[in-house]
Structure 1
Amino acid sequence: MFNRPDSATASLRTSREDLLEQLRLRGITDEAVLKAIAKIPREEFVPATFRHRAWEDGALPISCNQTISQPFTVAFQTQLLEAKPGMNVLEIGTGSGYQAAVLWALGLRVFTIERHADLLNQARQRLEAIGCNVAMRVADGTVGWSAFAPFDRIIVTAGAPAAPPALLRQLAANGRMVIPIGEKATQRMKVFARQGESDQFEEFDHGDFKFVPLIGREGWEKE
């Protein structure tokens, strides 16, 4: 499906293997996550001018002044989900489609929301090209996707000022939400774990990160 000269293929393979080793050294220990990262061709999700940098551990610009998160961040958030095959997972912030593809590669049933129609259309084309079956819509991600709730897992790929109440309400019993929370410039990675079927959530902190702002009714206002 992705035909390239042998030298280009070999270079991408080496870069991918180097990245996977870096992720292991930085604490990504979930082999299922590492296999999913290895399976999805990240070079198909970045602009052509950055293809040669696709397997570097860094964020890259995409359309609509957004970014594709660095591979470590994708792997770290995915590992924090502690998701099992067959679970329903909601992603807020489709972006390039790469995170959704990694979730799909884990055997999850993926629903993803993006507020930029152009980005979503581009992501849909990429995902379809590599055979990923993902439910997608253009909407305000901060209010979730109630038609398909509850979700076993929710992952938010933009920085929020606080945990959106609508998303917490759409978590299934014992569900988990991974979300960066803080200021517009920097955030702390948080995990909210629902306690059974109650309205109580245990909160865990996993360090500093930097994401684009989460825009929407229960996020930041658009400037």
Structure 2
Amino acid sequence: MKDTNKHQGLRNQLVKQLQDKGITDKNVLDSISKIPRHLFLESSFEDFAYQDKAFPIGAGQTISQPYTVAFQSQLLEVKKEAKILEIGTGSGYQTAVLCKMGAKVYSVERQNELFKTTSLLLPKLGIRPKFLSFGDGYKGLPQYAPFDGIIVTAGAPFIPQALMAQLKIGGRLVIPVGENEQIMTLLIRKNETQFEKHEYGDFRFVPLLEDKN
């Protein structure tokens, strides 16, 4: 579990790349500069961890490319102590970035194998989400709602009504919507019934899994 000066140097280069690609949120960039992404990957990928690429993490899932993590985090406009629901804990890297940004993170993971691994890894790195759970992301976490922000880290064929219902008025839902390719979509809740919708181009995610039990 080593994090060296060399790793920090590679992170600084990554942050510069993200800035060149249009990431401007200082809180996002600072968090990415501090989170040791190589520790969220299998050791065989360590030398590539700070490339702006997605990598497999087991259970047919991937760790998103840093630009995607940064872009989604920037769209959320995270304030300190904001209550954020993350759908798809995955490797825990996005979770860690949000925690480092000062958010209170509630995260749901559908794959038991990943849930177990990440639940052990995050505390070792000093990352403490408010709540990690194994369950169906389509349902969210109604018992902890409403949330200031909701981030979905897998491609959803549609925007789940349950997640929209769990958003505070003024809250932001960031979700990639589509079957094979996804359009990054931002919903801002204006009142009880109205949402403002923004779309931000094509991204590619693994599919959001529904609980079939």
TM-score by structure 1 length? 0.92
Give distance in 2, aligned partners of 1:95 and 1:190.
Answer: 20
Please list the CA deviations of residues 136-189 of structure 1 after superposition, one character each: whole Å capped at 9, or x if unmatched: 000000110011001110000000111100000000111100000011x21100
1:176 aligns with 2:172: yes
In the other structure, the counterpart of 1:211 is 205
In the other structure, the counterpart of 1:56 is 51
Give distance in 2, aligned partners of 1:82 and 1:3.
Answer: 31
Give distance in 2, aligned partners of 1:100 and 1:214.
Answer: 17
Give distance in 2, aligned partners of 1:33 and 1:119.
Answer: 24
CA RMSD of superposed structures (Å): 1.4
Give distance in 1, aligned partners of 2:209 and 2:139.
Answer: 11
Give 1:54 deviation, angstroms. Answer: 0.8
Choose the corresponding residue for 1:44, options 31, 39, 42.
Answer: 39
Q: Percent identity?
A: 47
Given that 2:40 and 2:92 are in contact with CA atoms closer than 8 Å, whether structure 1 keeps it comes out as yes
In the other structure, the counterpart of 2:193 is 199
Give distance in 2, aligned partners of 1:10 and 1:89.
Answer: 31
Please list the CA deviations of residues 10-64 of structure 1 after superposition, one character each: whole Å capped at 9, or x if unmatched: 4322221111110000000011100011111101101111011111100000010
Give distance in 1, aligned partners of 2:9 and 2:52.
Answer: 14
In the other structure, the counterpart of 1:65 is 60
The 5-angstrom pairing of residues 1-223 of structure 1 reads: 2-3=1-2, 9-134=4-129, 135-183=131-179, 185-195=180-190, 197-216=191-210
TM-score by structure 2 length? 0.96
Please list the CA deviations of residues 111-147 of structure 1 after superposition, one character each: whole Å capped at 9, or x if unmatched: 0000111101111111111111111000000110011
**SS of structure 1 residue aligned to 2:154:** coil
Give 1:3 deviation, angstroms. Answer: 3.9
Give distance in 1, aligned partners of 2:128 and 2:6.
Answer: 28
Give distance in 1, aligned partners of 2:122 and 2:76.
Answer: 21
Give 1:105 deviation, angstroms. Answer: 0.2
Give distance in 1, aligned partners of 2:58 and 2:96.
Answer: 18
Give distance in 1, aligned partners of 2:181 and 2:100.
Answer: 29
Please list the CA deviations of residues 68-122 of structure 1 after superposition, one character each: whole Å capped at 9, or x if unmatched: 0000000000000011011100000000000000000011000000011110111
**SS of structure 2 residue aligned to 1:20:** helix
List runs of 5+ in structure 1 lacking aligned partners.
none
